Amino acid sequence: MKKNNQEAADKITFKNLRRLYFFALLTIAITIILSQVLVQYNLNQQLSDSKIINISGKQRMLSQKIVKEVLILHYVSADASAKQISHLKEVLSLWKINQNALENGNDSLAFPKEKSETLTKLYLEVNPNFYTIVETTNLFLLNLEQKNNLANNQKLVQIILKNEGIFLSKMNQIVTQYDLEAHEKVTEQRKIEYWIFAFTLFVLLMEFFFIFKPTNKKIEKLIAKLLSSQKKALKLAYDTEIISEIKENSVKELKSLNYAMENTLLYCRIAPDGSIIHVGEKFAKLINYTKFSSNKKFSEVLTTDEKEQLNIDRIIFEKQRSGWTGEIKIINKEGQTFWLDLSMVPVTIKKEESELLIICFDITERKKAQREVERLNIENSTEKINQQKVISSRIVENQENEQNRIAKEIHDGIGQMLTGLKFSLESINLDDKEKSAQKIEYLKKLSLDIIKGVRTATFNLMPPELSDHGIVSSLAKLTQELSKLTGKEILFYNKTDFNQRLDSLIEINIYRLTQEAINNAIKYAESSHIIVQLSHSNTLLSIIVDDNGKGFDIQSVDKKRNSESGMGLLFMKERIQYINGRVFIKSIPGEGTRITFNVPI
């Protein structure tokens, strides 16, 4: 409870810090944006102010030029040319345009329409002189063009000179006023920039004390917790590795036990009602158990004698909770008689689910030996004793042969590899560090080879995913593991998201068929890419195995029943029939092969 409260408090603290950090960043961003907007605005104002000052100064120059041109035309040139008159008109027109732009504003030149009260007053004062010069100059030029009233031009020149001096004086005041106002703007901008700079520093200082410093403390605590958690995780990983190794050894032992049971013991599993759940391979061969008898009861498969069937059903019904051990006689379909030493053990699988484990021993030879001994006893006691010794020795010999066969399988397989590992470990001399290091590296490689060999050998046994999660998970695991083991690109697709569980017999047969098809594609087709696709409808489950191998001629392979490939195809066809399914094989030499399994669901 205390830990949960601490975690909740940490979350709230980090949320508050995140909000403050976001607020600080937003404040800085707004400050920077506002500062840039003001700077750009003032820069634009300064650019327009410089243009205005430049044009204002130019107006003084143009007024002087107009007066100069008028004086030249009146006093110097005896006969004014049209070119001189035209030039003076152009200068006069430019002077008027600039003056209008200065006074009333101009968008193209970025001159503002609004002005200070002082500038407005100055422009009102200079306008009479300006317009007098304009009108007088126009009359002067008109007289020159018409060569009329030339004597009156003397008076016009005097008016121009008189107003030109006043115009220059007023324009000087205007330029001075523009310069003064521009300086005031720059000063104001500097103050604003100082305030923005001070505010930004204040925000950064607040961030340091209220965000960065507390965050730093939180991070230090978090790092300390992480380091502590890392130590705990390393210890937990070490413990987990040890447990995993123990578990792996247990799985190996169970796999070995399962293999031994399947191939050495006569055993099967049945439900309390007598129906068969699973029959071991060796027992299935003895009683000729196939898919055709999968829907029969255990007693019906075990013997054809009706009395014995009833007896077995009675034993199962009465002894399914307590168990039973005894000898029974069975007669198979071929009429052969066998004697079995049968033990029935109740096993609880789940809370309300149980089954019966049947373990048998074939005692037919022993029964025959007993009968033979009885017959010999009647004929001759001495001969009976000798015969009994012979029979006993044969029984012992058979038992020894069976034990030797099991021991040989264990010895030649995992035993030899583990013995080699033991001898290599014992040969390590810790005093010779260089050779010890070399041997340890060799032992690591040998251990990896042993693990790989055991994994490869046990992978073909019943996968745990099949019984735990079903056919989809087991096929996905199969393709993944085979891809790792072979280096081929083997992919699995569940196209219709099939997730149902099927009967265990159907699932194991589908798994073995798919496994056989993939192995054939790897071993014989020499393919690099294999795709396994699973799809289903309401009544049918379909598995398609495609490869890009070299393909084969189906008809020629069907004729070669003795070849490995021919036997593999025959195996597929026979196994698919066990679950009432069908197989379709399509192969093109040089292009690849497609194998389709259709199973009713």
Kindly report which listed range (67-81, 114-128, 361-375) carries the lowest average pLDDT score: 67-81
> Tokens 């001399």 correspond to what residue?
429
Q: Tell me the whole-structure pTM to 2 decimals.
A: 0.33
The answer to the question of residue 95 being in a domain is yes
Average the pLDDT over 290-310 and give the result: 76
Model pLDDT, residue 33: 82
Kindly report which listed range (61-70, 384-393, 424-433, 508-517) carries the lowest average pLDDT score: 384-393
In this prediction, residue 472 has a pLDDT band, given cuts at 50, 70 and 90, of very high
pLDDT (tens digit per residue) in 259-292: 655 666 777 888 888 888 888 777 778 777 776 5
pLDDT (tens digit per residue) in 370-408: 888 878 877 766 654 554 444 334 333 433 443 443 444
**Straight-line distance from the first to the last Cα atom of the chain, in angstroms, rounded to the nearest whole number:** 51
The answer to the question of residue 404 being in a domain is no
Model pLDDT, residue 381: 60
In this prediction, residue 460 has a pLDDT band, given cuts at 50, 70 and 90, of low
| Whether 180 and 88 share a structural domain | yes
DSSP state, 414?
I
Average the pLDDT over 312-329 and give the result: 84
pLDDT (tens digit per residue) in 18-28: 777 777 778 77
The answer to the question of residue 418 being in a domain is no
Distance CA 420, CA 438 (A): 16
| Whether 201 and 293 share a structural domain | no
Kindly report which listed range (55-69, 251-265, 310-324) carries the lowest average pLDDT score: 251-265
Model pLDDT, residue 327: 84
| Whether 32 and 91 share a structural domain | yes
| Whether 350 and 295 share a structural domain | yes
User: Which among 349-353, 419-423, 581-585 has the top mean pLDDT?
Assistant: 581-585
| Whether 183 and 320 share a structural domain | no
| Whether 333 and 481 share a structural domain | no
pLDDT (tens digit per residue) in 103-118: 887 777 767 777 788 8
User: Which among 259-273, 328-342, 510-524 has the top mean pLDDT?
Assistant: 510-524
Distance CA 530, CA 593 (A): 10
Please report, for the domain that includes residue 586, its CATH number.
3.30.565.10
| Whether 296 and 177 share a structural domain | no
Q: Which helix (H) or strand (E) holds 411?
A: none
| Whether 162 and 218 share a structural domain | yes
In this prediction, residue 429 has a pLDDT band, given cuts at 50, 70 and 90, of confident
CA atoms within 13 A on the CB side of 395: 15
The answer to the question of residue 340 being in a domain is yes
Does the pLDDT of residue 457 top 70, yes or no?
Answer: no
By percentage, how much of the chain surpasses pLDDT 70?
A: 79
Cα-Cα-Cα-Cα dihedral sign, residues 154, 155, 160, 163 = positive
Domain end, chosen from 330, 362, 394, is at 362
The answer to the question of residue 65 being in a domain is yes
Residue 92's Cβ-count burial label (10 Å; 0-12, 13-18, 19+) is buried
| Whether 185 and 311 share a structural domain | no
| Structural domain count, the chain | 3
Model pLDDT, residue 415: 60
Average the pLDDT over 299-318 and give the result: 83
Which has more pLDDT, 431 or 491? 491
Average the pLDDT over 320-333 and give the result: 81
Domain that holds residue 216: 2-227
Question: What does the DSSP assignment read for 516-541?
Answer: HHHHHHHHTS--SEEEEEEEE-SSEE
| Whether 133 and 280 share a structural domain | no
The answer to the question of residue 382 being in a domain is no
Domain end, chosen from 205, 227, 249, is at 227
Q: Which long-range contacts (CB under 8 A, 24 or more apart) does 523-527 make?
A: 524/549, 524/552, 524/564, 524/565, 524/568, 525/549, 525/550, 525/551, 525/552, 525/592, 525/593, 526/550, 527/488, 527/592
| Whether 219 and 289 share a structural domain | no
| Whether 193 and 276 share a structural domain | no
pLDDT (tens digit per residue) in 191-234: 888 888 888 788 788 878 877 777 778 778 878 888 888 888 88
Does the pLDDT of residue 489 top 70, yes or no?
Answer: yes
In this prediction, residue 241 has a pLDDT band, given cuts at 50, 70 and 90, of confident
CA atoms within 13 A on the CB side of 552: 20
Domain end, chosen from 199, 227, 255, is at 227
What crossing angle do the helices spanning 117-146 and 153-207 adopt, rounded to 10°? 150
pLDDT (tens digit per residue) in 147-185: 776 667 788 888 888 888 888 888 888 888 888 888 888
Please report, for the domain that includes residue 317, its CATH number.
3.30.450.20
Model pLDDT, residue 17: 66
The answer to the question of residue 411 being in a domain is no
The answer to the question of residue 542 being in a domain is yes
Average per-residue pLDDT for the chain: 78
Cα-Cα-Cα-Cα dihedral sign, residues 143, 146, 147, 148 = negative
The answer to whether 363 touches 340, Cβ cutoff 8 Å, is yes
